[in-house]
């Protein structure tokens, strides 16, 4: 740890960030050692011991004695699963409350104005993993006919041993920044189900290369547009168009910080042969089973929904499977969606910026769906042929959507990064609250259009019939 502190000081980066990067890169030599020395051993306990030891060592390298938090959380889940397996609803409730409560207590005692690299960072990953594990154990007690396709693929009929659970929870390259994956994937991997397929190392090294590229772009971009610049009078004095585009490009560079970490983790998981998904369209092995970011969609997408679909994919899938779809009994997709976003906000912590960010996501995605509905149902049927044959329109359409994509990403990410109300509201004020203003204008136009213009004409036939009856009665 002293050596890492010295090297971090020489590199001019915080020691916590340096250790995080070293830990992510360590996944590659660990993958090489496993494939060279461990993979052919018939004693599966040695596989579990190797992963548990490597993960615990890396966790201690980053957080020292604070590693006990994750050990305690894993131990509690193990005990709950074995003691309360006969009462699955009680087990699920206690397991959920314990992990979320422990995480929130951790946030309460450690939070600051910045995004801190503390023991709570991997613990939020562990929280989802242990809650999902509890659901999978409970699903394993149900008849297969009562399970959805996703649930049947992750259900566990027999809980693992404590060593197996430790290895799963501390799996190298997966415990620090994600991605999320069910115990069944770890089980299939250690059973050798993916060993017959080729190409994992090549796929992993390509992912590593992309991670290096994104990290370089991130560092160059944030050197030109650092976070604190947006809190200065100098930024507020720039031209409005400059301000909103600066904010948008800053958001892109900030996202690249997260993306580079995920790419490093994904590449190591690919190299060890963990991420097999099936065959692709060409019949080749597909190693994208733990992909946390869809780069092509992220870079070519034009809407906030594209960001949601391409960013932090595994966490979103986890929330969809274990929160959103399990609220089906509410019989209302909007309420379930809002509850899922609310859970994500609470999972991130107490800072008001998280809640504003997820509120903005909900509002903007809803607004995009309204605009798309008007465009496809009202505009295209009337002017579609003319617009589709116009090169000028196509160019304007592309530039407008791309500009919207960049600008609104800056607006949405501001509160997520600046966290404290007095910080993110300063940036909102500096860009004239444009995100609120334009959405409010659209809401007025949309509801006014629905009420006054697109409202169907009154059916006068019942009135005519009533008049005839009245005359006959008279």
CA distances from 432 to 249, 327, 437 (A): 18, 38, 8
* Angstrom distance (rounded) from CA 240 to CA 245: 9
C-alpha span between 362 and 342 (Å, rounded): 10
As given in the structure block, the two tokens for residue 446 are 């949309």
Q: Which of 62, 348, 351, 405 is catalytic?
A: 348
Q: Which H/E stretch holds residue 278? A: strand 278-279
235/144 Cα distance (integer angstroms): 59
DSSP letter (8 states) at residue 286: E
Check if 451 is active-site.
Answer: no
Is the backbone peptide bond immediately before 179 cis, with ω within 30 degrees of 0?
yes
Residue 156's φ and ψ, nearest 5 degrees, are -120, 115
Q: Which residue has the tokens 């889940």?
A: 77
- Helical segments of 294-433, H only: 295-300, 304-310, 313-319, 333-348, 352-374, 380-388, 391-418, 421-430
Of residues 292, 312, 314, 316, which has the active-site annotation?
A: 312
Q: What are 279's strand-pairing partners?
A: 285
**Residues 6+ away with beta carbon under 8 Å from 347:** 100, 103, 124, 127, 128
Sequence-ordered list of residues with C-beta below 8 angstroms from that of 146, at least 6 positions apart, any chain: none
d(CA 474, CA 339): 59
Q: ω before 381 within 30° of 0 (cis)?
A: no
The first and second tokens of residue 223, run together, are: 């050197």
Q: Which two tokens stand for residue 425?
A: 């509201």
- Tokens matching residue 355: 């809640």
Contacts of 159 (CB under 8 A, 6+ apart): 81, 82, 85, 137
Told to judge if 312 belongs to the known catalytic residues of this protein, a careful annotator would answer yes
Residues catalogued as catalytic: 312, 348
């Amino acid at each position: 740890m002293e050596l890492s502190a010295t090297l971090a000081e020489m590199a001019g980066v915080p020691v916590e960030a340096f250790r995080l990067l070293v830990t992510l890169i360590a996944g590659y030599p660990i993958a090489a050692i496993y494939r060279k020395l461990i993979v052919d051993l018939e004693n599966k306990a040695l596989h579990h011991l190797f992963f548990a030891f490597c993960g615990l060592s890396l966790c201690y390298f980053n957080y020292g004695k604070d590693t006990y938090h994750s050990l305690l959380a894993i131990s509690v889940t193990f005990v709950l699963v074995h003691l309360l397996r006969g009462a699955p609803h009680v087990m699920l409730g206690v397991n959920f409350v314990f992990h979320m409560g422990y995480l929130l207590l951790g946030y309460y005692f450690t939070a600051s104005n910045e995004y801190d690299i503390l023991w709570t960072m991997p613990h939020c990953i562990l929280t989802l993993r242990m809650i999902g594990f509890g659901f999978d154990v409970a699903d394993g007690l149900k008849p297969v006919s009562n399970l959805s396709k996703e649930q049947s693929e992750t259900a566990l009929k027999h809980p693992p041993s404590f060593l197996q659970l430790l290895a799963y929870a501390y799996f190298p390259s997966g415990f620090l920044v994600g991605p999320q994956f069910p115990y069944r994937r770890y089980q299939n991997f250690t059973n050798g189900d993916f060993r017959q397929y080729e190409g994992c190392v090549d796929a992993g090294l390509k992912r590593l290369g992309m991670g290096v590229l994104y990290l370089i772009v991130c560092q160059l971009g944030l050197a030109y547009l650092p976070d604190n610049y947006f809190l200065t009078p100098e930024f507020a004095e720039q031209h409005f168009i400059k301000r909103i585009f600066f904010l948008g490009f800053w958001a892109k560079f900030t996202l690249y910080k997260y993306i580079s970490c995920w790419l490093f983790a994904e590449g190591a998981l690919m190299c060890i042969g963990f991420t097999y998904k099936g065959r692709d369209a060409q019949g080749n092995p597909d190693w994208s089973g733990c992909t946390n970011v869809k780069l092509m969609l992220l870079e070519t997408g034009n809407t906030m929904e594209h960001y949601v679909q391409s960013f932090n994919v595994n966490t979103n899938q986890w929330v969809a499977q274990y929160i959103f779809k399990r609220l089906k009994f509410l019989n209302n997709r909007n309420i379930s969606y809002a509850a899922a976003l609310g859970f994500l906000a609470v999972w991130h912590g107490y800072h008001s910026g998280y809640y504003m960010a997820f509120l903005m996501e909900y509002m903007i995605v809803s607004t995009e769906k309204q605009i798309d509905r008007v465009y496809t149902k009202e505009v295209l049927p009337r002017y579609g042929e003319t617009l589709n044959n116009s090169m000028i329109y196509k160019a304007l359409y592309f530039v407008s959507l791309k500009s919207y994509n960049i600008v609104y990403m800056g607006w949405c990410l501001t509160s997520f990064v600046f966290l404290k109300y007095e910080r993110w509201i300063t940036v909102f004020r500096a860009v004239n609250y444009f995100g609120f203003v334009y959405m409010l204008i659209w809401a007025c136009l949309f509801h006014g259009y629905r009420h006054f213009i697109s409202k169907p004409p009154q059916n006068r036939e019942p009135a005519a019939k009533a008049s005839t009856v009245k005359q006959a009665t008279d």
